[in-house]
Amino acid sequence: MSDVAKAGRAGRGVRWDFSGEAVLVTGGARGQGRSHAMAFARAGADVAICDVAAPVEALDYPLSGEEELEQTAEDIRALGVRCLSYPVDVRDEPAVARMVEDVVAQFGRLDVLVNNAGVNAIHEATEMPLEVWRTVIDIDLSGVYHCSRHAARAMRERGGGRIVSTGSANSTLTMPHNAAYTAAKHGVFGLTKALAVDLAPYGIRVNMVAPGLVNTALLACAEAPHVPEDYFERLLKVGGQVSLFHEEPQGVEPEEITEAVLWLASDSARFVTGASISVDCGFAIT
């Protein structure tokens, strides 16, 4: 293991304290969202999670179900904190509004929003079904806006809060057959900066994490029958190396992204807003 890798391992073990705070994580049933939600709970926060918990026809891989959503909620409660769970589609703005209102009513506050819900679908740009385009844009970008605007209203009344959204390496570059995802994730970065400016007077910080390839169920979109067999070879020609640390796994685990999310949500990042933190093993710079 290299000195860089050893330093990374040694740096783990930072313990955050979110006791007395309330956190909402979208897409919280599995993958990165589950990792974030569990970490906030271990740090003492009361946690609310939501997920679509139903099939989305335009996508080529199964999303989480209600069983996964409820299992994550049970696992969070087992840590000794309160947890609320909502089968909410972030495309449904009225449902998002009701969810945020209920979180505040149940917890008495909302301090942190983690916009994690996201999907992908791989299609050559001119052949992409319009329903796929609309689905990816509506979930990955409009969903971030819906959740942020309602969470920000609740935070504004309390005098502050933090919003952390999940962008991507695709927020600054692109990959083959990723037109919708790239457009959405570029939009998330732009929205992050716009919200940071508008919400700063109310003490609300807004930032973004930009993961590279993460070992979650979302990668299953590359297994659809219409995706070329050499897709990942094409990806590497455009995006560069998946990892600059050759001895490290190809792709990172959700917990690595969680560390950046909790830092951005903590007081340690109190002077950070409108920023994007890449957690991609150098993928976006190669």
Residue carrying the six token digits 């840590």 = 79
Query: In whole angstroms, what is the distance from residue 43 CA to residue 30 CA?
Result: 19
What do you get for the CA distance between the two ends of the chain, in Å? 22
State how far the alpha carbon of 167 is from the alpha carbons of 103, 144, 155, 184, in Å: 24, 10, 22, 9
> Does an H or E element contain 49, and which?
strand 46-51
Contact 279, 252 (CB under 8 A): yes
Residue 202 a catalytic site member: no
Nearest-10 Cα torsion for 147, 148, 150, 156: 150
Task: Report H helices in 200-253.
Answer: 231-239
Catalytic residue among 61, 86, 145, 181: 181
Q: Which residue has the tokens 């052949």?
A: 127
What are the catalytic residues? Answer: 181
